Structure 1
Amino acid sequence: MAELSPIDLQKALHGASYPASREDLVTRARDNGAGAGVVDKLSSVRADRFEGPDEVQKAVFDAE
């Protein structure tokens, strides 16, 4: 599986409203047809709530 890119994450979260919970973002990613790798990565971040897409990017990519 290819590594997750910031663009993949942006596509997966297209249309998300913030603030958002981790569960909201996982649901949005699934609804947008994101692959299992993106969904798994979002599911595993430690934060429960995000104020905006920058916080999501930081949580996902700082966890690698």
Structure 2
Amino acid sequence: MAQVNPIQAQKFLSGVNYPASKDEIVQTAEQQGADDDILSVLRQIPDRQYDGPNAVSHEISEAQ
């Protein structure tokens, strides 16, 4: 699996209304056209509520 830059992944999360669930984050990324590498990493983050983009970026870093 390719390494995903958390900052690049944020480009596909611009429509997320935080707090947001993992499912909402993945769904938004899909709708924004995220590639398979980004979607794969987002599907690996813990299933919880995220209070903002920094929390998502942290989990993306941890998931790789």
Normalising by structure 1, we get a TM-score of 0.87
What corresponds to 1:8 in structure 2?
Answer: 8
Q: Is the 8 A contact 2:21 2:49 kept in 1?
A: yes
Report SS of the residue matched to 2:18: coil
The Cα shift of 1:2 comes to 4.3
Deviation beyond 4 Å, 4+ runs, structure 1: none
Matches of 1:42 and 1:49, distance apart in 2: 13
Normalising by structure 2, we get a TM-score of 0.87
Does the alignment pair 1:63 with 2:53?
A: no
Report SS of the residue matched to 1:41: helix
Q: Is the 8 A contact 1:47 1:59 kept in 2?
A: no
Does the alignment pair 1:36 with 2:36?
A: yes
RMSD over aligned CA atoms reads 1.4
Give the count of matched residue pairs: 64
